[in-house]
Structure 1
């Protein structure tokens, strides 16, 4: 299901119940006492894995208990997971949403049950409905990659391909930000979803390079897919296609260093998870000086500034 225009405008930035996977983590430490958090994750990429690790580790350090569930890119499962967390009477619910269209109803359910929601990656225009958010300006992420292409290409006419993620939420915001910042001399000749799945992305890339052998650049919505896209282009003899992507993992930064990727935008999953837990707890306690909407720093990583990439995943 795609994000509607109405839903997009409400953003600042990005299986049934039987399939629900929950884990409770008790912790030792000081700070938050009997706070219990629910974390509903949106998928299974390295970003989601690192985000959950950060949430769990930070909750433990803050002496909070956390239950986790994964929606596996399924909006219906997200609703079921949120309903389950509400039934557990958690103090607050942290959500990495699958799809913006379903988010409004989920927030309403949680609000009716007096369970505040803290969002990761995206926020809503009516922040009165949520406890807070750790926001990644996904449109800016896309625009940073587009800006690198604009500088690299100069005034020459170039062909650009896009390997998006899954329609809805993060991917649409990334792609729209990227397209909007491309120079007029850059023509998007292909735009297909890789579904945040490397095997799917590789198939998309193979078809793309066959249909557009003059391709100059490719924007790929995460590094896991970008490695598969690189493999497809290289196998087809198109090593000269320059790839820009998103995440800033250790592997991604190493690929920039080697030249496999030309640039990646680092938006640390560790920073998002740490911020979400700490700020959610602080906002529950009504502490002063805590931003309700926290903006996560972004870094365009190229060969010229490899050391500027923040730690992406907790150790």
Structure 2
């Protein structure tokens, strides 16, 4: 009887072991099948299945930065100047190389940037620095860039997803706050005087909305400001002039014109001067372009807001170098700040900020 029970126990154990072995073999086969399946972005990175931004690295050799503004204009030329000067200080293109990939028109920015990103990702650049009204339309491409090991910096982008794992930093300034500074300046300038106000807006969108809402916040609670006119002038001087000409026919008693970009404000001044109203109507601008600066110096435009365009460019290159060459983490949000400029402080502004100034290499630059 004992021998029979022992035999039965042995058979049961053997069957159990065979069952476990069969079960384990099936598990291994499943794993093999998973390993043979091409890995997609949804399967890489974190445990949640999301592709993640490449970690800080210490890269040998030069790093290539693809510069992708929303369009090339005066402002983005200033940003580029800041980038080029930092490259000079670091030792030139043998250390950091900046490649310009810019859309040709504001009207086609989103579609062109999508095409640019799709072409850049397989080219093996190290960094993409991109500006847009929002990063939402670019999310899929930002994810692909992360999967390809490309580090992304967003700049001058008013709406960003701060939870996104696809970019390192958002570098820029607060569009709302810069707009608010125009309103604050106007309140200080006009005091309690009844002020009939016109606003020249840019293209409809987030950028325009934040600037506009900031301005309205700046004059909030001051009932002497009557906003009698608000219309787009498409960010351009020509449209700023034509829109203002039409506006003056309907509202010849306007006291104050707030342009949400200097170029529109400069066009407004041309229209105001042609109407002989330059001594009556006060004009404010935004972004402190060189032409805007000159206009204030001549007593034409009354004020503008500087938003540190060149500092943004400097910050892009410095942050990219620290992240990709020195293996350092960088700030998630880098705000270069804004300042209102008028006849009282315009001479304090460094006009070299409008242009590229060749720099000499700086030994041990950015080294601890």
* TM-score, length of structure 2 as denominator length: 0.71
Q: Is the 1:78–1:98 Cα contact (8 Å) retained in structure 2?
A: no
Q: Which residue of 2 aligns with 1:37?
A: 65
| Greater Cα radius of gyration, structure 1 or 2 | 2
Equivalent position of 2:322 in the other structure: 282
Determine which structure has the larger strand proportion and give its number.
1
**Structure 1 equivalent of residue 333 of structure 2:** 293
Alignment partner of 1:268 is 2:308:
yes
Distance, in Å, in 2 between the alignment partners of 1:166 and 1:284 is 36
State the shift of 1:156 in Å: 2.9
Q: In the aligned structure 2, how far is the partner of 1:106 from the partner of 1:308?
A: 42
Post-superposition offset of 1:270: 1.2
Structure 2 CA distance for partners of 1:153 and 1:105, relative to 1, 3 Å: farther
Unaligned runs of 5+ in 2: 1-58, 358-368
Is contact 2:284-2:302 (8 Å) kept? yes
Match for 1:89 among 114, 124, 127? 124
CA contact (8 A) 1:220 1:246 kept: yes
TM-score by length of 1: 0.82
Deviation for aligned residue 1:127: 5.1
Match of 2:356 in 1: 314
Q: Deviations over 1:208-232 (max 9, x none)?
A: 2222111111111222222111001
Alignment of 1:1-315 (within 5 A): 33-62=61-90, 63-71=95-103, 72-73=105-106, 74-98=109-133, 101-122=136-157, 123-126=160-163, 128-183=165-220, 184-185=222-223, 186-239=225-278, 240-285=280-325, 287-288=327-328, 290-310=330-350, 311-315=353-357
Partner Cα distance (2:165, 2:194) in 1: 46
- The secondary structure found in structure 2 opposite 1:246 is coil
SS in 2 for 1:129: coil
In 1, Cα distance between equivalents of 2:227 and 2:166: 38
Gaps of 5+ in 1: 1-30
Task: Report the number of matched residues.
Answer: 285
How far apart are 1:126 and its partner, in Å?
A: 2.1
Q: Measure how far apart 1:101 and its partner are.
A: 4.9
1: CA distance, partners of 2:305 / 2:60: 34
Change (3 A) 1:208 1:102: farther
